[in-house]
Structure 1
Amino acid sequence: MRHVDWLVPSLLARGAGTLMFGQPGVGKSLHALHLAACLCLGRAFLGFGSVDAPLRVLFLDFESGWQWNAEPIRAIFKGMGHPSIPEEFLYYSPFTEECHPLEEPAGTLVALEDLGPILEETVRSHRVDVVIADSLGQMMIGDTNSGQDVAIALRSALNPARAAEAAVLVLDHAAKAAIGGAGVPTPVGSQQKRAWARVTVAVESEEMDGRRCTRWSIDKSNAAHFDPFLTHMQFVHGSDGQLAAVHVHSVGSAGPRSPRKGAVRERVERTVLEHLANGPARRQELGRGSTFDQVMDELLKNGLIEQIGRGQYRLRRLLYHAVHLLRQVGAQHEANALAHSINVDS
């Protein structure tokens, strides 16, 4: 059995791939930059432990460019007490001229599928220990919704860096959780990406004591799992309004994930039910869009509304609506009692 050289125990290993995924705005990029800073400075990442010496990290920014990320990158290092970006941190984006340390004209776009040999040469010549790719979609020629195209892109672009003994971390967007589910994210093209990665980690937004936190949990691992935990980011601004420092703190263990629907879906559902409480309505009067279609399917499936004609709907019973509202406000005992009386599944 091959020895695993963990750079961050249970998370990041030489020659292996790690996938970190979550919805937009959850803080994937900033957390990845904090991880990069920890590795460059030889410090522990959120209690995971660290290597004994600073590592060289190559951050591939396929989302934006240096003009957008220079400030948060500097702020991440300043938040760790380091006044400047160390030479161990290497940055590259095809969308900007100001790349550190690689020299390449802006607008020279190499398709992700063709990036492998260039990346392998960069890893070897610059002695890169960790490659972080944020993210892949904009650089792919293939269809990002095609599992086969995703698999080809991952293997052709990033496996050469793994072969050069670099650890590779890919940041990716999460697919929307199934309506009515527990809100558990999954990576887009999940089967192929899970097969490519040794470890896949889900990151989600979560409220704790009035603070917005980030929940970390293992989605899949070929190694020892870690228990879900929470982190919190603190942003410090200078007198000029510019971002001066970013501090990332470990808040502690995360409890069980609370089943919940997305805020947008809840709002659409509430709008539909409130509208139908005033009487039957046609579908086009109630709303439109993919989220609305999913909400309507769920309400029909759960028996809260019924179709009474072509494109026309009404509340199935006001009592069904009452059960639903009781559950929404957490009055589970009362909801179950009422549900039992009208034969609604509790």
Structure 2
Amino acid sequence: MVIKPSSAGEIQQLIEALGGADDTRRETAVARLAVIGARAAEHLLREFSSAASGRARAGMLQALEAIGDPRALPLARAALADGDAATVFAAISLLGSFLTAPDTPAARDAFDALVSVALDRQRPSDTRLAAFDALRVLPAALVDPVRRTLADDPDAAVRARAPEPARRSPDAVWRAAVDGRLPVAPDVLKRLLARQGGTASLMDVQHVIDAVRSQEQKERDDERRAEWRVVRGLAHQALAARGSRLALYDLRDSLIQTERLPAAFLAALEDVGDATCLEPLAAAYAASSRSGDAWWREHVATAFRAIVQREGLTRRHTALKRVIARWPEAAVDLMARS
């Protein structure tokens, strides 16, 4: 891709979005920085130390992981000592992405850093387990010594995880997620969905959606909960790309929530939503009109209109009659271009 000289300003705007409260803009910024590639990595590496918040640092690490530039490894290792939990998890995820890299020194550095975290008894158990989970893609000969050490750990949560087989191939991690045993880090499952979502059993993807929703409900950290919600949206998109409505119930129920959903939910609704989705979409549109959230309102409207057009619905359809009766003002907008 040719990078124009003016892209420096665009890169700066994207980096600023990484620390913002808008999750959708943040996801878009990560994706765009990944497309820009090495030049974006240079900006991220240079500006990381001056990032104003943990959220910004975590977002920058996620962007660097998406770019895949090994120059980020020293920065990720240093970020393991960050006081912000989300930044530490993002650093673990970045390091994990290099474990099987063809660049042997990079893979070795990532391995050493993750082993150090997994064995550090001063760290929280979820941080240590995230590092151990990342290691499980490696051969048993490399991971078994770590597992044996953790089997005698004073932390009960760590001991409980250690007896599991040391080598967990991506297939094994996927099967565990299908059975409701999710990896500690949402990014692990995000990568698995990219790998498995197009070929896995539709029922398996549905089970993963249910498991992730349950994890969201239990998650107390807002940012972590948002990360799991992104994963659930991607799972819905994987089903929708294959024309499946198996988890349509969850898409409908998700619209009832007051929080804005990631774009993947609406993309899935555009592809497979049916008449039963129109009322919750109309309710979401009306609520967004009151809140002034223009981005969400426009994307909800796009999904609504896509369903009406795809399903060939007219104003005489029962679902549309209910929308017109309950949200007359919203219905005027939604039906204007349907």
TM-score normalised according to structure 1 size: 0.29
TM-score under structure 2 length normalisation: 0.29
Q: Which has the higher contact order (CA 8 A, sep 6+)?
A: 1
Bigger-Rg structure (1/2): 1
- Structure with greater helix percent: 2
